Homo-oligomer: A and B are copies of this chain.
């Protein structure tokens, strides 16, 4: 399905660089209705190695995947926690990772899966935060400890919405690469793919873009015959031969996703994702694509398949490509696809101005596909705007939206200050939530500046909090250096 591809957020293979205790809290299945009193265990990770009494909680609002994956790739929170004497929490989003409200049945039908929604997840977080605040406050000096929310990508959307909807729960939010405007009428549907194309053009080459542009029709025409399907399967080193038109669509999606993923995770140093990647993977990819001189369709195919090896076979040990999977199995693609059919409806399309195959945003077709796959339909495209306000967020406060301009998702992000209390910071050479990663010798100046900006904003929010709640702690914080 065409809509499938657009919602793949990248992920990482965990090397467990950061240590945590695993805990669980019992939360209501349905926070907003009372047809049942069911509860389930929500998993969260705790690191209290830096925590000093009455200091803040840094709370990661988990997104669409196993929370340990995010915990291992948000080193920025650790770097900050050392300075702020903070408790570190990573809360898992319901229906992802181990947090399956109905166990193995969780994904079996809308009856079970229907409680997967951003609003319910936010209410889970509020529930957990309240519990943590009670646990960790030294009641003699403070009723509740302050909490700062962090999140990247969909997790960043959640952290900003948490502050908007429940400002009493979190004192502020760092929302990194959060495309809160990737909804109907807020961002043209073609922008995501245009940004992706621009990045390949500027970091790779115009030739690389042109080669990618050619690949879609070549795959289509070559797979017209049974023989052609076998040839193409071989060219792409697929684990299973293409046998139907549907398989062809899956391959097209897979190629699109792999290229898009590479752009999202274009970090300046090697990182280990589903597959290990070199630093600057887009440049490496295009360099390989461009190294193949071609005159005909077979040459284009060769150029692309050679380039893709950067993503699919960087270690040289991959035997074949499974096109049903582009990222770690820790990432809950099925859950996210369900959400994209219900509360996170993000219109996407492709035009001549980008390097992908043209595709329209056809809400009717999208809805039919959703029904076919999940037996749900989006109520209407307005849902995310009715729930979260679209561009009218100026009454909120204490949120930083950060976006890397090399990140396709910046197309739906907040790139300019909304008010004196909702700041936007851009990282011109940054990929998808680059600023949430731990510091690295190869970090650019702009990502370092973004992190410094976050730090100052958090300091300001904590000052506000302690000034109101406890003057001693306020003066203590005011005198503290954060280096």
CA distance A396 to B165 in the complex (A): 10
Contact A32 B117 (CB under 8 A): yes
Residues 94-116 (chain A) with a chain B CB within 8 angstroms? 110-116
A287 at interface (Cβ–Cβ under 8 A)? no
Contact B397 A116 (CB under 8 A): no
* Number of copies of this kind of chain in the complex: 2
A377 at interface (Cβ–Cβ under 8 A)? yes
Q: Give the bracket for the number of chain A residues in contact with chain B.
A: 35 or more
Contact A376 B126 (CB under 8 A): no
Contact A34 B110 (CB under 8 A): yes
Closest CB in chain B relative to A228 CB, distance in Å? 41
Inter-chain contacts of A117 with B (CB < 8 A): 32-34
Of A150-158, A386-394, A427-435, the segment with at least 4 beta carbons within 8 Å of chain B is A386-394
Inter-chain contacts of A169 with B (CB < 8 A): 389
Contact A114 B34 (CB under 8 A): yes
Given A28-B379, A33-B33, A34-B116: A168 and B111 within 8 A (CB)?
no
CA distance A132 to B120 in the complex (A): 27
CA distance A377 to B35 in the complex (A): 11
Inter-chain contacts of A167 with B (CB < 8 A): 389, 392, 395-396
Contact B126 A386 (CB under 8 A): yes
Interface mask (A117-138 → B, CB under 8 Å = 1, otherwise 0): 1011001001100100000000
A166 at interface (Cβ–Cβ under 8 A)? yes
Contact B376 A37 (CB under 8 A): yes
Q: Which residues of A contact B (CB under 8 A)?
A: 28, 30-37, 110-117, 119-120, 123, 126-127, 130, 165-169, 338, 342-343, 376-377, 379, 382, 386-387, 389-390, 392-393, 395-397
